[in-house]
Structure 1
Amino acid sequence: MIVLSTIRDCLDALLHPSARYDVLARARHRAFIAPRLLGSLTAFAAFPVYLAMHGAPTALGVAAFAWLIVPILLSWFLSRTGRYEGACLLSSLAFAGLIMTLASITGGVGSFAAIWLVVVPMEAAISASRRVVAFACALALVCVSLLIVLGHFQLLPATDVDVDLRAVLTAFGVASATLYAAGLAFGAELLARTSAGLLYTEEERYGLLAHNMSDVISRHHRNGAVRFISPAVEVLLGAPASRLVGYGLFDRVHVADRPAYLTALSEAARGGEAQSVEFRLRRDGQASQTNFIWVEMRCRPLEQVMPASRPSEAEVVAVMRDVTDRKNQEHALDLARTAAEQADASKTRFLATMSHELRTPLNAIIGFSEMIMQEDTLMLDAARRREYAHLINDSGQHLLSVVNGILDMSKMESGNFEIMPEPFAPKAALINCCNLLALKARESGIDLVTRAPDDLPAMIGDPRAFKQIVLNLVSNAVKFTERGGTVTVSAGIESTRLVVRIADTGVGIAADDLKRIGDPFFQAGTTYRRRHEGTGLGLSIVKSLVALHGGEMTVQSKVDEGTTVTVALPLTPQVAQPHSNVATLAPSAARPAIPEQALQVKKSA
């Protein structure tokens, strides 16, 4: 064992660096170098014995022994260059040359050396190179043909070997060639065993990798059929890998994503470049949209030893991984970005309209107050002064309502808005609100109809908030209804809830805007094309007040046909909606009523 280990170490020291880290290449280089060095060294060791027994060698003997230097040169060539095929080609050429020389001077094709030409292709077979084997076969056939031609035309030198010696030499040639062929067979078997061991090791290594990695490795035809898929797919899709072979995986691809899936495989097989595609795969279970996962697949053409005879036979190897979380995050970011853009656009529209909502009453206040200050110069009478004072008061009240709306919305968004619930009669509050807006409706040429049953029960809530809800909704209905239209306010009991409906025959709301009704600072229609004033906070405040009472608000509308707003409030207090950021409504002791004007002054303070 020590001797074999020493020999192996010496052979490894002679190997080219390119073959030292490849087990199969190292075994082939050893199989090439070892017998040639051993044969040459054995022949050189026997040369002195030959001289002692036969005396001075003949020219043939000197040439034969000199030829033994060639295997050493070939080993040196392979050790320095690492060109295994080149060394095998040179070895076949040198081996055939030695056999041709011996056969030419010992009887031609009938010589004992001619039998060794059979060994030339056998030796080349160990190289595992089709080019080397083809060259060796052609070389052996050329040598045999040349010996036959030279013998036929008697161009070979005459030999005086007797019949008995010729028979001995022939037997020696056959026996030595057989032994050498047997050695080649054992060498080929050893290389085959080494190759099989390496293949098993690699298969075990890649099998271990495929079983334990989270990514799915698959092999596809360019038409999408699966030839192999790793067991990791069982965790990914909850289905055994055997069911996905063929078109099993394709059947699970979302219908909308199948073109992209097939295109990526086809382009990877045809173009020779790596492709990447994202698509949805259905997991085992109910075939619903929520049961699909997003998968990223990177595919590239499979490098084969033999090129495919037809393009349709090209194959692709792919790696798939679950990217559902990333896609969900991207979707959430898109939604957040859209919401931020909408909020920014709404606030931009709000600031654009606020410049008008605040400037108009302030200009009126300043202008009419300056006129009153110059009453002597302008010779204003008492009636004109009262008119100007009334206009200043109206402008101040409008300005106060705008500021109160902004303050209320700010408190509601921060969760600091408080309401005080108490028992009250909703019918009286409803009629009172409609009476306050009756004059405005009459001046605008609009019929304001109020329908409330006499047996409408009392409810627990904040009467001030209830009035604010009704006033905002009825005021909006009157504002957005053209002259000659109708606004209908009705109330009734459904189950345990008070339902108030405000229906108008006004301009209506577009479907795209209807989705955002109730968002802070949002106004339906383009800001600079609107025919009606407002800050866009009215419905948002109403929506928040309804949520505080644990109620619901729905809006139905069609452009040029009208709008119906339905508010459903529980008769008894309930907890506010979980998503609301305002305080929870709870009953409290009755408190004295506060005049509406006093409430507005208190809020502004």
Structure 2
Amino acid sequence: MALGELPVRSSSVREGGTVVIVDPDSAHAAAMADAVRALGHAVTITATAAEALASIEREAPDILVLAVTLPDMGGPELARRASLLSTPPDVVLVAERATPEAGLVALEVEAAGVLVKPVNAARAGGLIGRLVERHRRRHEQQEFTEKLRTLSALSGLITSARDTQEVFKALARAATMLLGARLVHVWVDDPRAQVLRVRGTYGLDPEFERPLTEYEVISYGSGMAGGTFTAGRPEFIFGVRTSPRWKNRRLAEAAGLHAYAGLPLMAGDRTLGVLAIVFGERGEFSVEEKELMQRLADHAAFTIVRSEAREQAERDRARLEVLYAVSRRLASVHDVDGVLNAVVNEAARLLGLEAAGIRLLEGEDLVISARTEAAAQLMTRPTLRVGESLSGRVVASGQPLIVEDIEQETVQDPEQRQAALRVGYHAYLGVPLKVGGRAVGVLSVWGRAARSFAPDDVALLSAFADQAAVAFEEARLYAETREREHEATNLARVTAHLASSLQLDRVLDLITWSAKELLRCDAAAVWRYDEGRDGLVAYRASGMPIERISHVVVKPGQGLAGRVLKERKPLWTRQLTRSLQDDAPDASETATALGLQAALAAPIVSGEEAYGVLVVYRRAADDFALREVTLLSTLADHAAIAVRNARLYSETRQREDENAQLYAEASTQRERLGRIFDSTSDGIMFVTQEGRIEAINRQAGDLLGTDSDAMIGGDLLDLLEDRIAEAGAEDGLPLSLRTLFSHTEGGEGDLALPRLKRVLRWVAQPTTEGGGRAVGLTITFQDVTRDREVNQMKTDFVSFVTHQLRTPLSGIKWMLELVADAEIPIDIRSYVADARDASERLINLVNDLLDISRLERGRLEIRPQPTDLGALTASVLEEVAGLVRTHDHRISVTGVDDAPTVIADPQLLRQVVLNLISNAIKYTPRSGEIAIRISGVGDRVRWEIQDNGIGIPRDAQRRLFEKFYRADNVFAVETEGTGLGLYLVRLIIEQFGGRVWCDSEEGRGATFVFTLPNSGVA
């Protein structure tokens, strides 16, 4: 970057802000101006937009306070023009009133604040003061950004430029502009002459640069810069014109110089020069300014260090020529092994030593990569950790390591020190192999005799190591490129086979062959886990006959392959036969017979299942690199994909066969069900949740007196309403049917079709899909006309008999009560009480029969109204409290206080609740648990009672709500009953459009539940 390209900007942060107030109300404007001036800000008052424009175009203010209404221009238009300035001010609107229009104007001009008249001057001043401060911080941030850009550009120039004079000139100019200095000098130390020399200078006025030629050299301690250099610390001096250290007084007077800042240029403990900055009249330096000066000084020091480094490089050029011949030899070798072998041999020869070796970094380990024959006695461990042993310390530090006598070395591992001494080696020198500034390995040389290494020896070996690292890196990259191309080609073939072939054997054959070729091994095999033999058996092989290894069984956890299967991670060994001797002797013998020494194995894992192991073998006891482990793992993953694909294909074929069989069976079943559906004597239809008929058999159409095919797709309730209306029936559709689709529980009841002189018994059950979600109802119809006629005859007879019994029974009860009140013997009184109780039970039975008769005939007077089910339940519980105490039961109630209301006859509903609670008390053994729960479920109200009594057999539950029916197990309990209570409960609940049922398991209690429509009344 050229000198003139540096972006610089001088500091110009104002002490106070500037405010322009535009308001035709002069008194109001003056009051605000006084409040703002009190905060130390400059204020200009104008009465018109024209005056304001002239003012802000001369100098952009920080804040523009303007009235919404001006005599010559609208406030919004003035704000818009102000926003076009290079540094637009923040706008504060002054409105006559707080109106929506004023708010919209504020949004339009993006006002920073709004004031409403009459304005509180102090509050307005505070607001404007805060806005000025925010404007100031934004201005300072912009200047800070400009400084960063300048420093960044300067850094780029320092990094790229080779002319230090140009860099120092640019640095001096940047310091002048950034700090507002008059003159800047960069003095650089000349240690041989013991003087400081000017290497860069810049002044705002070019005429002030010329006199500096008289003072291009100063001695240590002389003048301002010489004193700073000697002090070795920053100096800040004011009044330089009177300072005895300032030499050029004429220049100081002419340029008006006043303040001096001198910063030593430091590199570690060395002082390389001085950055001298001279200012005109000014106050103390801020912390920010001092930090900026220090950064500029650091840049100058870095430039000097780079310059010294280049000079040192030139001095080293001659030494590097010594290595030229070796470098040419290295450059002519393109394979990695060849480069490494050439390096170790030449390194030993260059320093006249007996042994040399290289370890390269692979992951966290240093792996032997090359060594002279003599070094094989020293480099016995295949891998070392970084920081371990002498070689590891070189890589960890990134610096050369000299050991003049290993016997005197105390840091080295004692075992390794003794190993070196046993084979007669004492001297050691190790230098890092670096690529891109990062240590990637170590070049080590050993000498039999103890010796010191001169700096030139270290420099020579380091330079050689650097050249070797470059040559090695080039050879490695070349080899890796070729290797990656080869690997990519083979992996592409494997991937193509995976995509095109589902034959597992063919794909595994290709994978074993590719593993052998890509890893340059002698053989490869896929070992599959055999559950029957509880071990790994050879399945496919390349490079060796499968018959030679097919008899071997490797148990999980035994040998190399067994451990890989169990641990599910790659492992390798250089001593295969030894690793198999104890755990798998058969495998050890086979490996010995085949001459296999080294092996690398990776698990083949499909999902959570370990299918087997992919193993490659070498007949030489070689090490395996991390790249080879990764490559084999990739091939093992491909093998896992092949296994998974083959299994998926097999499972898919099996599912297809099963689905075909299921489809055939389903078709047969569908035909069979269709025949049953059409031939059954009951009418059957399937209805959606919305009430639309999806399917109906012929018998249902006949029972309903219509064509079944014509009913499909129609609305069931509309159709039934039409059938009843045609007959002129007054009652209409039963409530139980009209509310059928408001819930998904189903229901049952009778449907009278007067025109057909027919009564149908219907039962609706939820129809569910595979996941259990209700999708509609299955409704069955039975013609019960004859049954209902017989029942009617029975009902009429019972009604007649009960009417005839009711009067004499009442008389008997009255007479018995009179007798009980008379003076009679105690034994006679007991008989009278029994007779009175018996007559009471008969009267209750007669009343139940009469209620049932009226309900069945539709002649019972019903008064439906909103009924508080919770309060009704609480009332019944109070009524039976004595019976509960007699049986020592515990009753819990949930939902009574916030129970929804229902539409029902309170007296009849009370009869239902009393009947169910009484049954729970009677059929629960002493000290039992009874729970009552009331809740809202959608548009229904659910009431349930649960006991831990004797329960109800499953086969009795379907008849439980029939007239006169009692389950067999109730006779084991000493209690009385007629079998009418639950029948009456069902009639009443169905009369109100509800449903009642029981869930029970014999011996484990019972739960009785009824649901009613929610009245919707809170």
What TM-score comes out, normalization by structure 2 length?
0.21
* Greater relative contact order (Cα < 8 A, sep 6+): 1
What TM-score comes out, normalization by structure 1 length?
0.34
From the two aligned structures, give the one with the greater strand fraction: 2
From the two aligned structures, give the one with the greater helix fraction: 1
